[in-house]
């Protein structure tokens, strides 16, 4: 899949790909989405993988829009300031407890909002517009035929399309499905993700640190990133920098996973074993090395329906690359469009990129500038080993190689999950 042979740099490694090219390769090799059937109670936020047609009409029966009296229009057509009309109240229709009889000439039935309109009645007069005395109502105000009725089927008919495939199940949409008795829906499945962090220097939170060791922060950060992107983390494993071990752990992790995310071990050092392990396990590379800062060593590959990503080990590079490549893929697999989640903002000051790679520059969104558009403040700390620069950032902007953004210029901000 790695298209035509690429030029190599002076050290014999492939020249990094333009970011756009890496993105297009991913887009051209998106894995298939999977579906599952869920009870409505657990489907909030999921995306429908089926069309939903109404199994019944709404409203199911004609009912009252007001608390008042159901009556026959022809009995009260003449009501007005000078014509007092009196009707006999012969019963009540409550919500859930309909009146069993029929409304005859000169009769009215007390009715509640949502209650079934009894046979014979065709109009409702609100309680505020009548005088009641013993079992009689009097009205003086003019009445319109059919007023305050909600007619059976006026919202939709049985068989009408209620929700298209691709609709996100928002609270109102869940309410709509419940209102017509649909209790199970076919939705896109949450992608299952295995996270493998490589590095013989890494220790877990509970482990004591020996000399030269550092704490593994990527596995927690990436797992939280996957969860915030709607994915399901099925495994987290720490892998020492050993070729055989890396290949073996990949085999152990991939069986249940739709996505395998490696961190570290993907660069050009002698202890970087992720790419060979992927190749040995028959993954087809999509790209390796991208013309970006941070994140040049980024690796992506695919085996059948399964994707593998090799993120650089530097925490900042890992999270920026996760946001640029993996977050959109996780959203896509859940039924959303494949694309970046961005907001438009205005640069608070001029920034330049003298490098020959695109700079994914961490920024902070601050307040509102002109016309309510948020302002972008580039963060001064951009070192890819400094997690603090990430904790203050809302996302990043893409500054093309050799490019710049002037103060006041509009830019797209790629938002972190």
Minimum gap (Å) between residue 313 Cβ and Mg ion: 5
Q: Output the residue with the shortest Cβ distance to ligand AMP.
A: 313
Considering only residues 296-315, where is the footprint of Mg ion by CB under 5 A?
A: 313
By a kind-dependent CB cut-off of 5 to 8 A, residue 59 interacts, out of Mg ion, ligand AMP, none, with none
* The residue to which tokens 């509970």 are assigned: 206
Member of 199, 295, 297, 312 binding Mg ion (CB under 5 A): 199
Q: What is the DSSP string of 159-205?
A: T-EEE-TT-B--HHHHHHHHHTT--EEEEEPPPEEEEEEE-TTEE-T
119: contact with ligand AMP by CB under 6 A: no
353: contact with ligand AMP by CB under 6 A: no
By a kind-dependent CB cut-off of 5 to 8 A, residue 56 interacts, out of Mg ion, ligand AMP, none, with none
Map 328-364 to HEC letters.
Answer: HHHHHHCCCCCCCCEEEEEECCCEECCCCCEEEEEEE
Member of 264, 294, 395, 417 binding ligand AMP (CB under 6 A): 264
By a kind-dependent CB cut-off of 5 to 8 A, residue 312 interacts, out of Mg ion, ligand AMP, none, with ligand AMP
Minimum gap (Å) between residue 256 Cβ and ligand AMP: 22
Binding characters for ligand AMP, 266-285, by CB under 6 A (x = yes): -x------------------
Question: Rounded CA gap, 247 and 237, in Å?
Answer: 13
Among the residues of 61-159, which ranges form H helices? Answer: 73-76
- Per the CB < 8 A criterion, the answer to whether 363 and 413 are in contact is yes
| Size of the residue set binding Mg ion (CB under 5 A) | 4
Minimum gap (Å) between residue 14 Cβ and ligand AMP: 17
Binding characters for ligand AMP, 215-234, by CB under 6 A (x = yes): -xxxx---------------
DSSP 43: -
- Per the CB < 8 A criterion, the answer to whether 6 and 14 are in contact is yes
- Cβ-based burial of 15 (10 A; exposed 0-12, middle 13-18, buried ≥19): exposed
Measured in degrees and rounded to the nearest 5, phi and psi for residue 42 equal -115, 15
Considering only residues 304-343, where is the footprint of ligand AMP by CB under 6 A?
A: 312-315
Member of 44, 95, 97, 214 binding ligand AMP (CB under 6 A): 214
The β-bridge partners of 8 are 14
The answer for residues whose C-beta is within 8 angstroms of residue 134's C-beta and 6 or more apart is: none
By a kind-dependent CB cut-off of 5 to 8 A, residue 197 interacts, out of Mg ion, ligand AMP, none, with ligand AMP
Member of 197, 345, 347, 405 binding ligand AMP (CB under 6 A): 197
Minimum gap (Å) between residue 186 Cβ and ligand AMP: 37
Among the residues of 31-190, which ranges form H helices? Answer: 73-76, 171-179
By a kind-dependent CB cut-off of 5 to 8 A, residue 382 interacts, out of Mg ion, ligand AMP, none, with none
Neighbours of 101 (CB within 10 A): 14
Binding site for Mg ion (CB under 5 A): 199, 264-265, 313
Binding site for ligand AMP (CB under 6 A): 197, 199, 201-202, 214, 216-219, 263-265, 267, 312-315
């Amino acid at each position: 899949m790695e298209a035509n042979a690429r030029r190599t740099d002076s050290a014999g490694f492939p020249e990094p790909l333009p970011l756009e090219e890496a993105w297009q390769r991913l887009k051209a090799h998106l894995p298939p989405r999977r579906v599952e059937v869920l009870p409505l109670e657990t489907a909030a936020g999921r995306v429908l993988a089926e069309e939903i047609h109404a199994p019944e009409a709404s409203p199911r029966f004609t009912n009252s829009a007001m608390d008042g009296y159901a009556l026959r229009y022809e009995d009260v057509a003449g009501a007005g300031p000078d014509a007092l009309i009196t009707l006999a109240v012969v019963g009540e229709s409550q919500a859930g407890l309909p009146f069993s009889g029929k409304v005859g000439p000169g009769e009215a039935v007390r009715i509640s909002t949502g209650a079934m309109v009894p046979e014979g009645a065709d109009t409702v007069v609100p309680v505020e517009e009548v005088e009641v005395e013993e079992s009689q109502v009097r009205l003086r105000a003019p009445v319109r035929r059919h007023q305050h009725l909600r007619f059976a089927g006026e919202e939709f008919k049985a068989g009408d399309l209620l929700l298209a495939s691709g609709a996100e199940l928002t609270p109102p949409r869940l309410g709509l499905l419940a209102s017509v008795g649909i209790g199970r829906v076919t939705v896109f499945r949450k992608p299952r993700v295995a996270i493998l962090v490589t590095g013989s220097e890494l220790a877990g939170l509970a482990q004591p640190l020996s000399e030269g060791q550092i704490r593994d922060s990527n596995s927690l950060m990436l797992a939280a990133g996957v969860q915030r992107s709607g994915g399901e983390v099925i495994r987290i494993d720490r892998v020492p920098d050993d070729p055989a071990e890396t290949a073996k752990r990949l085999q152990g992790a991939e069986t249940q996973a739709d996505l395998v995310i490696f961190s570290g071990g993907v660069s050009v050092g002698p202890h970087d074993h992720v790419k060979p392990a992927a190749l040995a396990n028959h993954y087809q590379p999509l790209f390796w090395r991208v013309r970006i800062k941070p994140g040049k060593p980024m690796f992506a590959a695919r085996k059948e329906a399964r994707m593998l990503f090799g993120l650089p080990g530097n925490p900042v590079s890992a999270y920026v690359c996760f946001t640029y490549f993996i977050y959109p893929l996780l959203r896509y697999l859940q039924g959303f469009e494949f694309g970046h989640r961005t907001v438009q903002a205005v640069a608070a000051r001029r920034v330049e990129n003298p490098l020959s790679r695109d700079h994914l520059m961490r920024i902070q969104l601050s307040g509102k500038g002109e016309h309510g558009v948020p302002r972008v403040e580039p963060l001064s700390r951009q070192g890819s080993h400094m997690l603090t620069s990430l904790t203050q950032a809302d996302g990043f902007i893409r500054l093309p190689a050799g490019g710049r953004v002037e103060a006041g210029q509009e830019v797209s901000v790629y938002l972190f999950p």
